Amino acid sequence: QKEVEQNSGPLSVPEGAIASLNCTYSDRGSQSFFWYRQYSGKSPELIMSIYSNGDKEDGRFTAQLNKASQYVSLLIRDSQPSDSATYLCAVNRGTGANSKLTFGKGITLSVRP
């Protein structure tokens, strides 16, 4: 099983719709979870972090974490063409000096005008 797995894409949604991006992870000891947005040719940008079970909302973005089921998701409400990008899920494994992120391969989102 891959350490961090994102559902296969690409994902295409119409403008104004809700985009749902999912991610599963294998290490039950993982403690923190992140979503990055990466536009083509650019570096990743941190858009959401979540550390405890439940939902975390920031503007049009909602991150959801379920540690028992080992998944984390990102919902984008009222999707805009500017949301078209690749979204990377990252999971923090280990603690202290061994703390490091493992990234999924990403899913490409396309928002149709």
Partner 1 sequence: DGGITQSPKYLFRKEGQNVTLSCEQNLNHDAMYWYRQDPGQGLRLIYYSQIVNDFQKGDIAEGYSVSREKKESFPLTVTSAQKNPTAFYLCASSPRALAFSYNEQFFGPGTRLTVL
Contacts to partner 1 by CB under 8 A: 31-32, 34, 36, 42-46, 49, 51, 88, 90, 92, 94-97, 99-106
Alpha-carbon gap, residue 111 to 101, rounded angstroms: 28
Alpha-carbon gap, residue 77 to 105, rounded angstroms: 23
Cβ distance to partner 1 smaller for residue 65 or 90: 90
Q: Give the nearest distance from C-beta 44 to partner 1 in angstroms.
A: 5
Cβ distance to partner 1 smaller for residue 18 or 46: 46
Contact 91, 4 (CB under 8 A): yes
Cβ distance to partner 1 smaller for residue 51 or 81: 51
Q: Give the nearest distance from C-beta 88 to partner 1 in angstroms.
A: 7
Cβ distance to partner 1 smaller for residue 17 or 108: 108
Q: Give the nearest distance from C-beta 86 to partner 1 in angstroms.
A: 10
Alpha-carbon gap, residue 101 to 52, rounded angstroms: 17
Phi-psi category of 106—alpha, beta or left, where left has phi over 0 and alpha has psi -120 to 50? Answer: left
DSSP, collapsed to helix, strand or coil, labels residue 97 as helix
Q: Give the nearest distance from C-beta 27 to partner 1 in angstroms.
A: 12
